[in-house]
């Protein structure tokens, strides 16, 4: 059951997007995420959607896999959309009751919020589909390396992060195994009311924690016995090297970003749609 969660899961495929330098992917994704908070026009969201779909195609990730990343936020999207439709408050009310009112503007606003959240999830999901956890931590470590100047233990943090990421599938597998073992003893983990379910989790959580501590201890001994931290300068096995592919990606991203920014600053697409719809309804 846990294996079905698709967010944060690497999707193996041979593609240029997969082979990109993780640092570039991280920085570009950072821009992507920050920029979306300034986008407030449908042209802008359309550009975002086009970007996500194009990247998905280039990365050879099936659309289904991408959409599955949304399953985690589905409830939130619906909830926020409903709240926005009824409580936005602006515009000419088409319908109103007590403190609630619905207008063309509130519907458009809700639509935008929903789009924003979904795009916000799909972008980073795409990053994790196309980048292995190890490549990601390598990239983060490299990007954080200026912090070494203020004695921030970048390398140790990177090691901790990569170990944590490395342990996620192991712990999930272990959870699965323990759940199965307890189910075999008649535990009903997915039935009953909420209190019962929480109580039913004890036989799973206790062995899981005991196991996690056992693993952590073993790992610490293993690191120690291989003289971790004995030499101040460690070399690395994988060396990140940006290539022509990354330059092309940056250029393409810059062009796309310019378009998005222009769409924010110049177009007033919203008003156009709004006017058209009100005209249609009013007419």
Kindly list the residues in this chain that would bind another protein in the complex (CB under 8 A): 3, 11-13, 177-178, 180-188, 202-204, 206-207, 210-211
Q: CB nearer to another protein: give 210 or 254.
A: 210
Q: CB nearer to another protein: give 72 or 169.
A: 169
Write down the least CB distance from residue 178 to another protein, Å.
5
Can you tell me the distance from the alpha carbon of 112 to that of 139, in angstroms, rounded to the nearest whole number?
32
Q: CB nearer to another protein: give 135 or 178.
A: 178
Q: CB nearer to another protein: give 96 or 170.
A: 170
Helix (H, G, I), strand (E, B) or coil at 204: helix
Write down the least CB distance from residue 179 to another protein, Å.
9
DSSP designation for 95: E
Can you tell me the distance from the alpha carbon of 89 to that of 106, in angstroms, rounded to the nearest whole number?
7
Q: Which of 78, 79, 54, 56 is nearest to 66 (CA)?
A: 56
Q: Could you please report the per-residue DSSP string of 109-177?
A: HHHHHHHHHHHHHHHHHHHHHHS-HHHHHHHHHHHHGGGGGGT--HHHHHHHHHHHHHHHHHHHHHHHH
Q: CB nearer to another protein: give 142 or 182.
A: 182
User: For residue 195, which phi and psi values (nearest 5 degrees)?
Assistant: -65, -40
Instruction: Quote the tokens at residue 87.
Output: 């409580």
Could you give the dihedral angle defined by the CA atoms of residues 113, 117, 119 and 121, in that order, rounded to the nearest 10 degrees?
A: 180
Q: CB nearer to another protein: give 89 or 203.
A: 203
H, E, C per residue of 24-79: HHHHHHHHHHHHHCCCCCHHHHHHHHHHHHHHHHHCCCCHHHHHHHHHHCHHHHHH
Q: Which of 69, 71, 53, 65 is nearest to 7 (CA)?
A: 69
Write down the least CB distance from residue 11 to another protein, Å.
7
Q: CB nearer to another protein: give 66 or 85.
A: 66
């Amino acid at each position: 059951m846990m294996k079905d969660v698709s967010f944060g899961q690497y999707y193996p495929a041979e593609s240029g997007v997969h082979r990109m330098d993780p640092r570039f992917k991280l920085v570009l994704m950072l821009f992507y995420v920050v920029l979306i908070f300034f986008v407030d026009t449908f042209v802008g969201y359309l550009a975002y959607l086009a970007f996500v779909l194009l990247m998905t195609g280039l990365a050879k990730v099936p659309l289904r896999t991408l959409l599955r990343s949304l399953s985690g936020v589905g409830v939130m999207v619906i909830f926020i959309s409903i709240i926005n439709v009824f409580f936005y408050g602006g515009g000419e009310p088409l319908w109103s009751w007590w403190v609630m009112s619905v207008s063309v503007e509130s519907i458009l606003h809700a639509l935008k919020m929903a789009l924003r959240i979904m795009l916000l999830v799909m972008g980073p999901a795409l990053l994790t589909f196309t980048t292995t956890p190890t490549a990601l931590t390598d990239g983060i470590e490299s990007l954080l390396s200026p912090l070494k100047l203020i004695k921030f233990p970048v390398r140790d943090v990177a090691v901790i992060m990569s170990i944590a990421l490395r342990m996620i599938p192991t712990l999930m597998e272990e959870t699965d195994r323990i759940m199965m073992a307890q189910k075999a003893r008649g535990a009903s983990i997915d039935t009953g009311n909420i209190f019962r379910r929480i109580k039913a989790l004890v036989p799973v959580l206790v062995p899981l924690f005991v196991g996690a501590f056992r693993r952590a201890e073993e790992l610490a001994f293993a690191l120690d016995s291989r003289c971790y931290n004995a030499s101040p300068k460690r070399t690395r096995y994988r060396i990140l090297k940006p290539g022509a592919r990354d330059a092309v990606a940056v250029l393409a991203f810059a062009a796309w970003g310019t378009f998005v920014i222009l769409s924010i600053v110049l177009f007033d697409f919203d008003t156009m749609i709004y006017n058209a719809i009100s005209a249609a309804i009013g007419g």
